[in-house]
Structure 1
Amino acid sequence: MNRLKKHIFIFSLLFFSIGLCNSYSQTKNVNIKVQDSIVPKYDFDVLSPSKAAFYSAILPGLGQAYNKKYWKIPFVYGALGTGIYFYSANNKNYDRARTAYKLRLNGKPDEFDGLGDHILLSDDALVTAQKGYKKDRDLSLLVTVALYVLQILEASTNAHLIQHNVDNNLSIEPTIIQDFNSNNAIVGASLSFKF
């Protein structure tokens, strides 16, 4: 009998609590408006990163101008110009050594034969020079292409990062903490969120 009373008590308690919950949930209409105060409301173009990458692919530096980072354009042209300069210089020297070697094989005078004001280079030196200049020319081309792709990626990444909240309320500051037990300084970093 004791067990039956316990079950009836639990059943009635459940029935009563469900009845209260249902009665309150059906009679009250609550409208809650939530406003996010952390993220500022800006209008961003979703296709902005792809536009910046496309513009940089068409004309180097144009994606940086699209992102309004005009100070990066001289670095883009300086890097690409340096790569093109070294490619051109190595290609010119490679052609000189190759032409001189071909003329020497045909028994004709060349600019490295040692006659008159010309310097003297052996056949092996001309072959070594050709190999070295060709390797440097190819490396210059590879670096220039890599810099071209890098400036496209930089424009796209920068356009992505413009859409994120980066202000002074989010900061990482290095700190030096004094340990009072051992009287030693401990270097650490603190991550601060200010709301």
Structure 2
Amino acid sequence: MPNKILYFFFFICLSTTLVFAQEEPPAEDETTVEEMEENFIKVQDTISREPLNILGPSKAAFFSAVIPGMGQAYNKKYWKIPLVYAAIGIPAYFYIRNDKEYDRYRDAYKNRLAGVDDSNSEFATISNDGLIRAQRTFRRNKELSLLLALAGYALNIIDANVDAHLLQFNVDENLALKPHMKYNEMENTANLGLTLNFKF
């Protein structure tokens, strides 16, 4: 008798377990394929890039041509503005300095040719050839400083234009050129190379 009760109790437990096991679990997320596609499109829309500003590089170059450093400010690269003014300002400073020295030596040479007594001046110990050489040196330095200032001005415009182009450059992981290193077990060496990733 106790065995029958035990079997009966075991049968009830087993049947209840089977009944509950056959019931479908509540669906946690019943999304259809259409809903999944809509969600994917929404995610794509949120990570999509801003439309390209075709006139951006031209604007940056124009601003830098009008006021040096303004194109860098337009590109939000404010740290480049002091470099722009240093690239233009330092040669401009040396141009002014060399121009003043050139004028001093030229005036001294003209006064000597005009017969003005310069025995008490700072140029008394310098010969005529020395005055001519000094004028040539300062004129060459003045012209070189002017060229460097113009080069700094031109580089300021080029930098603003190129930087505006690079701001719109696609740096997505789907298009990437990355270095890689692979260990060669046969030769016990490391091989270096570049990997080009191009995905649609």
TM superposition score normalised by structure 2: 0.67
Give, in angstroms, the shift of residue 127 of structure 1: 0.6
1:49 maps to what in 2?
A: 57
The 2-side partners of 1:51 and 1:153 are apart by 12
Alignment of 1:1-195 (within 5 A): 40-110=48-118, 115=120, 120-167=125-172, 171-192=176-197
SS in 1 for 2:191: strand
Deviations 1:96-146 (A, max 9, x none): 111111111112134xx5x47666211111111111111111111111111
Q: Alpha-carbon deviation of 1:194? A: 7.7
**Which structure: larger Rg?**
2
Q: Return the alpha-carbon distance in structure 1 between the equivalents of residues 122 and 166 of structure 2.
A: 60
- After TM superposition, the structure 1 stretch with the greater mean CA deviation from structure 2, 99-108 or 41-50, is 41-50
Counterpart residue identity of residue 145, structure 1: L
2:60–2:70 contact (8 Å) kept in structure 1: yes
Provide Cα deviations, 1:14-47, integer angstroms capped at 9, x if missing partner.
xxxxxxxxxxxxxxxxxxxxx8x6x933133321
SS in 2 for 1:186: strand
AA aligned opposite 1:58: V
What SS is found at the alignment partner of 2:170?
coil
Could you tell me which amino acid in structure 2 is paired with residue 91 of structure 1?
A: D
C-alpha distance in 2, partners of 1:119/1:73? 46
In percent, how many aligned pairs have the same letter? Answer: 47
Partner AA of 2:158 in structure 1:
L
Q: Considering only aligned residues, what root-mean-square deviation do their CA atoms show, in Å?
A: 2.6
Provide TM-score, normalisation by structure 1: 0.69
The CA deviation at 1:92 is: 1.0
Greater mean alpha carbon deviation, residues 115-124 or residues 98-107: 115-124
2:177·2:197 contact (CA, 8 Å) conserved in 1? yes
One-letter amino acid of the structure 1 residue matched with residue 191 of structure 2: I
Aligned length: 156
Question: Aligned partners of 2:179 and 2:105: how far apart in 1?
Answer: 56
Q: Which runs of 5+ in 1 are unaligned?
A: 1-34
Tell me the CA shift for residue 171 of structure 1: 4.7
